Amino acid sequence: MLIRPILSSSLLPNEVSTDERVVPLADLFRLLGDPTRLRIVLTCVERRSSVGAIAESLGLSASLVSHHLRLLRAARIVRAEREGKQVFYLAADKHISSMLAELLEHIAEPHADFRPDNE
């Protein structure tokens, strides 16, 4: 099994722990840590969607979806594309899509060697 390095080889070890890198990363994970926002992002990764379509598919109000999308856009997790009067949302870039795909694969993968601390 090929294991890819987690961090870019262009990063020096002491650069990883600097607040300049860690704080924005923690903010990104904090935003994605909200189950509603994560479902919205996963919907946007899957397909371009309008606020109304996202709200309907997730059983949420359009105003709540709009609120979350504002936060996600500010963090560059999703982006908007205007088509006439309609606005569609999608993953901001391939990094977001790839990261979520990798994390979904990780949680779906059985780990035979994993043993909780209490065993």
Please state, in angstroms and rounded to a whole number, the distance separating the CA atoms of residues 32 and 34.
5
Is 53 a member of any domain?
yes
User: Residue 65 belongs to a domain with what CATH number?
Assistant: 1.10.10.10
Asked if 65 and 58 count as a contact pair (C-beta separation under 8 A), the reply is yes
Helices (H), the chain: 13-16, 19-32, 35-46, 51-58, 62-74, 94-108
Please state, in angstroms and rounded to a whole number, the distance separating the CA atoms of residues 62 and 68.
10
Is 2 a member of any domain?
no
Counted domains in the chain:
1
Asked if 49 and 88 count as a contact pair (C-beta separation under 8 A), the reply is yes
Is 102 a member of any domain?
yes
How much of the chain exceeds pLDDT 90, in percent?
70
pLDDT of residue 88: 98
Is 70 a member of any domain?
yes
Instruction: Give the tens place of pLDDT for each residue, 2-46.
Output: 334 445 555 555 666 778 888 988 999 999 999 999 999 999 999
Q: What pTM, to 2 d.p., does this model score?
A: 0.78
**The domain containing residue 76 runs over which residues?**
31-106
